[in-house]
Amino acid sequence: MLANKTALVTGSTSGIGLGIAKALARQGANIVLNGFGDAEGPKAEIAALGAKVAYHGADMSKPAEIEAMMAFAASTFGQVDILVNNAGIQHVARVEDFPVERWDAVIAINLSSAFHASRLALPAMLKSNWGRIINVASVHGLVGSAEKSAYVAAKHGIVGLTKVTALENATTGVTCNAICPGWVLTPLVQKQVDAKAAAQGISNADATRQLLGEKEPSTQFTTPEELGELAVFFCSPAGNNVRGVAWNMDGGWAAQ
């Protein structure tokens, strides 16, 4: 379905981003990966699906590096047809205790990077009259949780940016939508599970059940594979007139 299309997925060397990249690769898209840590393993996973793959290690807190990444993607594959803004970090603290530098980092990577990548991708998408911008927000783009001020603010901002981007391009072949996951078992979430287990002196399994039970009525994690399939839907002909939605896959979290 996505043969001859190119998808750039930020924060895609593991977790949600890699799951989405693999789902798009299965549909024939060329893939540009981005993220920290080992890139060779994820590149090999994408290549094993028969897709062409490249990697750029841009620091998503730095606009100049984002510009270099977008230029690299265009020079490698022609243009970015599908942009998945997924890069994200987390820090947990009360507002009065929140380190200013951590606030700035969370906003830069979780929100501002999506703006910079989108503004750079849109001209080519509009010229070809086809494009998909998929912003990975969070259920925290729809509701709040204590001690997550920067993350919640950034994800609410992503939902707002999604709506504006969709509206500005509503009469074109370019769409913009947001995915709002609940708990997804990624390295980021595993750290929270481990911390809860250590703090309370309980097993990892008990910490997992407690974590899910607090917020997610289904008491099960959403998977990167499920999120990837939703991204594929947004890229399909069935998604042509899906514009500006914040689609939660959260096991009923926001329904409460």
**Chain segment 132-162, per-residue pLDDT in tens:** 999 999 999 999 999 999 999 999 999 999 9
**Amino acid 191: pLDDT:** 86
pLDDT tier, 62 (very low <50, low <70, confident <90, very high otherwise): very high
Q: What percent of the chain has pLDDT over 90?
A: 94
Q: Which residues are catalytic?
A: 151
The span from the CA of 117 to the CA of 112, in Å, is 9
pLDDT band at 5 (very low <50, low <70, confident <90, very high): very high
Going by C-alpha positions, the residue among 165, 155, 150, 172 that lies closest to residue 117 is: 165
**Helix extents (H) in 129-244:** 149-168, 187-200, 204-215, 224-235
User: Per-residue pLDDT for 128 more than 80?
Assistant: yes
How large is the average pLDDT for residues 175-200?
91
The token duo for 112 is 């501002």
pLDDT at 186 over 90: no
Residue 189's pLDDT is what?
83
Distance of CA 166 to the CA centre of its chain: 17
Task: Determine the pLDDT at residue 190.
Answer: 87
Please say if the pLDDT value at position 178 is more than 90: yes
Q: pLDDT by residue (tens digit) across 63-101?
A: 999 999 999 999 999 999 999 999 999 999 999 999 999
pLDDT at 9 > cutoff 80:
yes
Q: Tokens representing 76?
A: 């490698």
Q: What value does the mean pLDDT of the chain take?
A: 96
% the chain with pLDDT above 70:
100
Task: Please report, as a single letter, which amino acid is at residue 76.
Answer: T
Asked if the model's pLDDT at residue 192 lies above 90, the reply is no
Whether residue 226 is predicted with pLDDT greater than 90 in this model: the reply is yes
pLDDT of 39 above 80:
yes
Bridge partners (DSSP) of residue 172 are none
Tell me, what amino acid is at 8? L
